[in-house]
Amino acid sequence: MPTSPLHRVEPGTAVDVAAIDAADTSAAPGDKDETEEASAQLAERMAELQEVLWARREESVLVVLQGMDTSGKGGTIEHVMGAVNPAGLRVTSFKVPTEPELAHDYLWRIHANVPADGEIAVFDRSHYEDVLVVRVENLVPEDRWRRRYDHINAFEQLLVDEGTTIVKLFLHISKDEQKERLQDRLDEPDKHWKFRVEDLETRSRWGAYQDAFSEAITRTSTEHAPWHIIPADKKWYRNWAAATILVDVLKGLDLTYPKPEQDLSDVVIP
Ligand code: ADP
């Protein structure tokens, strides 16, 4: 499986996200400016690699983004995917399930949005909500959500077996950093649209969410679909780390442009 070593959670490791420094930038290639420069180059590289993926239409990539509110899921998509041809990109934000979604199994809406051959699909939240918010808010009984780790591993194995490469990124921020970002949203009228009072309730259960993330990552970081825990307090570092991981994975696919179906060597444009 193509993968990246950066912040990768080795399968079988017991993870405690609360013990990981969210402000760590020690793997950065330089200071903030140098790292931003490196990120810009990675974004270009990503666009080139995606063009080959799109031209071939033989395999696909699924990027799963998870993290607490304000962790930067949207900003990561904007910065890391900004140079990619939108025709081959598909972003899905998973919200509170609708009535028809709730009337089906929890993977129903997820499976409907996985990438087609040639596409990169990005999930802004995902099936992992069904072992995160669902667990913390007690939306289904424990014995029911506990079985989901196995379902998720099997579901992801199915996707991988059928030609999808899965990249799972947990954007890890500290509680203090979240406070600052929420305060910014309150202070700046142009950011009010991002502020939801309910997010404060989620914040009040910070510890329970950290536990839920820790167990989810521990149980679902597999050889076929490993997690990466990205320290995300510094946006410039987060963008660089996410871009590095994605470029590593795309390069690892070793893709080449498809051969033309016809011999083009004698073609003359009249
Ligand atoms: P975001 O915070 O991602 O920008 P919203 O503010 O609309 O977007 O939040 C989406 C909400 O949907 C989150 O509170 C999340 O916990 C919730 N949600 C997502 N998936 C599920 C699910 N399967 N069950 C319950 N709630 C979910």
How far is CA 156 from each of CA 61, 118, 194, 246, rounded to the nearest angstrom?
Answer: 12, 18, 31, 18
Phi, psi values for residue 8, rounded to 5°: -75, 140
Q: Closest residue (by CA) to atom 16 of ligand 1?
A: 133
Q: What percent of the chain has pLDDT over 70?
A: 100
Query: Count of CB atoms within 10 A of residue 8's CB?
Result: 17
pTM for the complete prediction? 0.97
Contacts for 53-56: CB closer than 8 Å, 24+ residues apart: 53/88, 53/118, 53/119, 53/120, 53/250, 53/253, 53/255, 54/85, 54/87, 54/88, 54/118, 54/119, 55/118, 55/257, 55/258, 56/117, 56/118, 56/255, 56/256, 56/257, 56/258
Summarised one tens digit per residue, pLDDT across range 68-99 is: 999 999 999 999 999 999 999 999 999 999 99
- pLDDT value, residue 227: 98
For 7-35, what is each residue's pLDDT tens digit? Answer: 999 999 999 999 999 999 999 999 999 99
CB neighbour burial string for 205-238, b if at least 16 within 10 angstroms, e if fewer? eeeebbbbbbbbbbbbbbebbbbbbbbbbbbbbb
- Establish whether residue 75 lines the binding site of ligand 1, counting it when its CB lies within 6 angstroms of any ligand atom: no
126 lines ligand 1 (CB under 6 A): no
Instruction: Choose one of 101, 111, 129 to mutate for the ligand 1 pocket test, by most ligand atoms within 8 angstroms of C-beta.
Output: 129
Question: Span 140-161, mean pLDDT?
Answer: 98
Q: Is the CB of 125 under 6 A from ligand 1?
A: yes
Give residue 145's pLDDT band: very low, low, confident or very high (50, 70, 90). Answer: very high
Q: State the distance from the centre of ligand 1 to the C-alpha of 125, rounded, in angstroms.
A: 7
For residues 155 and 31, give the distance between their C-alpha atoms in angstroms, rounded to a whole number: 40
What tens digit of pLDDT does each residue of 157-210 get? 999 999 999 999 999 999 999 999 999 999 999 999 999 999 999 999 999 999
Nearest CA to ligand 1 atom 7: 95
Residue closest by Cα to atom 6 of ligand 1: 196
Q: Is the CB of 130 under 6 A from ligand 1?
A: yes
pLDDT for position 225: 98
How far apart are the CA of 160 and the centre of ligand 1, in A? 26
Asked if the model's pLDDT at residue 1 lies above 90, the reply is no
CA distance 18 to 229: 11
**Of 184, 171, 179, 199, nearest to 79 (Cα)?**
171
Instruction: List, edge to edge, every strand of the sheet that includes 120-124.
Output: 89-93, 120-124, 60-67, 164-172, 227-231
Q: Which residues contact 270 (CB under 8 A, 6 or more apart)?
A: none
Ligand 1 atom having least distance to the Cα of 133: 16
Q: Is the CB of 77 under 6 A from ligand 1?
A: no
Q: Whose CA is nearest to atom 18 of ligand 1?
A: 96
Neighbours of 37 (CB within 10 A): 13
224: which DSSP letter?
Answer: S
What pLDDT, on the 0 to 100 scale, is given for residue 127? 98
Amino acid at 244: T
Residue percentage of the chain with pLDDT more than 90: 99
